[in-house]
Amino acid sequence: MKFNYYPGCTLKTKAKELDAFGRKSLEALGVDFEEIKEWQCCGAVYPVAKDEVATKLSAVRTLAMAKENGGKVLTLCSACHNVLKRVNNDMKTDENMRLKANNYLALEEPYLGESEVIHYLELLRDYVGFDKIKAAVVNPLKGVKIGAYYGCLLLRPNSTMAFDNPENPTIIEDFIKAIGATPVVYAFRNECCGAYVSTTNNELAKKKSSAVIASAKDEGAEMLVTACPLCMYNLRQNGGGEIEVKYFTELLATALGVNN
Amino acid sequence: MNSKEQVKIIKERSGTDASKCMKCGKCSGRCPAYNEMDIKPHQFVSMIEKGEIEKLLNCKAIYNCLSCFACVERCPRNVAPAAIIEAVRQEVIRMQGGNYINSEEIPQIVDEQIPQQLLVSMYRKFNK
Ligand code: SF4
Ligand code: SF4
């Protein structure tokens, strides 16, 4: 099975490690993937307003391109995942959006939400399997206490994202176990980091990010892992700096011995 | 456009049915920006129902909502307060002179680490 990999803009610029370690790990695990040719920016945030069509079109283009190639879209950035999955859901269920997007794009065959958007962590859980990852680990991260930081975008709204239990998720903790480390469960793991207000109301972002860090520290975490460049930025810049924050793909690549 | 029509458009744009709200307050209880919301999430729901549009158009809360969707997840009545806030925010930023961010101020707030995703989402949320 081939996965159509969608890196998105930030993974080509400020979050190159998230991408590079992700690719190396997929190769090590024998996953067949290929970057979608000529993908466009997903739009960064899902346009919630029902009367927005134009801001969703670049996501529809990507989804339609992947349809030509088996239809499995593999995402890594949490924000891209949220946008692509929600726009795809609109193309499946919202008549008005379907009609307008197809009228505008005039594709050879109308796109009706046939592709499937799969996050890298879902691929690890559902297609590779955490048992297989465990067996492939050459450098287990023994004794390292890691807190999973889910944030918002992977989990909510659960009616569309269907990623994991939105109030009590386990997927990243299972991942942490698979690479030989010890997961630390803490209350603020699915709280918001402060998101895009970090530029317009930095005080609010500082409060939110430092509350996440404090909650993780209280439970004894030595490190946090995330899949989101925006969360990473907020936790590092606005979180007070008491705990190291890393992309989960870096730890995966380390455990698999391909982090060079 | 009179304010009745404006309320109707905002409701449609939100795609959620505010009349289903049972006023339990769970959305506001879960909101991570609660202290910074001069109008609380549950108030957005009841105020749009009552057509109190002027106050909504002039509040600070539309700029402090984080679009985290926690309120949506917790609502026992399947109402989406975040979508009403978004619909109001769109109403404001689509007006002439309604942009919240002054582009000239951007260079001062951008640092070396800032991800593209943050800059694009900030523009998408606050400017047209
Ligand atoms: S989406 Fe906005 S209103 Fe709803 S809980 Fe999050 S910050 Fe509060
Ligand atoms: S959680 Fe839902 S039902 Fe309760 S006050 Fe908020 S919108 Fe109304």
Q: Which value does ipTM take for this structure?
A: 0.96
Give the ligand with the smallest distance to the CA of B26. 2
Q: At B11, is the secondary structure helix, strand, or coil?
A: helix
The mean pLDDT of A216-242, rounded to a whole number, is 96
pLDDT of residue B108: 86
Residues A155 and A236 in one domain: yes
pLDDT of residue B109: 82
Residues A116 and A151 in one domain: no
Query: Mean pLDDT of all residues in chain A?
Result: 97
Distance CA B32, CA B13 (A): 24
The pTM of the full predicted model, rounded to 2 decimals, is: 0.97
pLDDT of residue B103: 87
Count how many domains chain A has: 2
Give the ligand with the smallest distance to the CA of B40. 1
CB-based contact, B73 to chain A, within 8 Å: yes
The mean pLDDT of B20-28, rounded to a whole number, is 98
CB-based contact, A198 to chain B, within 8 Å: yes
CA A125, A160, A38, A13 torsion-angle sign:
negative
pLDDT band at B105 (very low <50, low <70, confident <90, very high): confident
Pick among B14, B117, B123 to test the A interface (most A CBs inside 10 A): B117
- pLDDT tens digits along A154-184: 999 999 999 999 999 999 999 999 999 999 9
B27: containing domain: 3-126
The mean pLDDT of A211-240, rounded to a whole number, is 97
The mean pLDDT of A223-232, rounded to a whole number, is 97
Question: What is the domain-level CATH number for residue A168?
Answer: 3.40.50.11810
Distance CA B61, CA A122 (A): 34
Residues A38 and A81 in one domain: yes
Nearest to B124 by CA among A73, A42, A35: A42
User: Cis omega before residue A157 (within 30°)?
Assistant: yes
The answer to whether residue B126 scores a pLDDT higher than 80 is yes
Of B64, B69, B86, the CB nearest to A204: B64
pLDDT of residue B32: 97
Count how many domains chain B has: 1
- The answer, yes or no, to whether any atom of ligand 2 lies below 6 A from the CB of B45, is yes
DSSP letters of chain A?
Answer: --EEEE--SGGGTTTHHHHHHHHHHHHHTT--EEEPTT-----SS---STT--GGGHHHHHHHHHHHTTTSEEEE-SHHHHHHHHHHHHHHHH-HHHHHHHHHHH--SS---S-SEEEEHHHIIIIII-HHHHHHH-SS--TT-EEEE--TTTTTSSHHHH--S-SSS--HHHHHHHHTT-EEE--GGGGS---TTHHHH-HHHHHHHHHHHHHHHHHTT-SEEEES-HHHHHHHHHHS-S-SEEEEHHHHHHHHHT---
Q: Which of A70, A96, A121 is the last residue of a domain?
A: A121
pLDDT of residue A4: 98
pLDDT of residue A244: 96
Residues A31 and A148 in one domain: no
Q: Which of A94, A121, A148 is the last residue of a domain?
A: A121
A18: containing domain: 2-121
| Alpha-carbon gap: A155 to the closest alpha carbon of chain B (Å) | 9
- pLDDT tens digits along A185-203: 999 999 999 999 999 999 9
pLDDT band at A40 (very low <50, low <70, confident <90, very high): very high
**Closest Cα to atom 8 of ligand 1:** B31
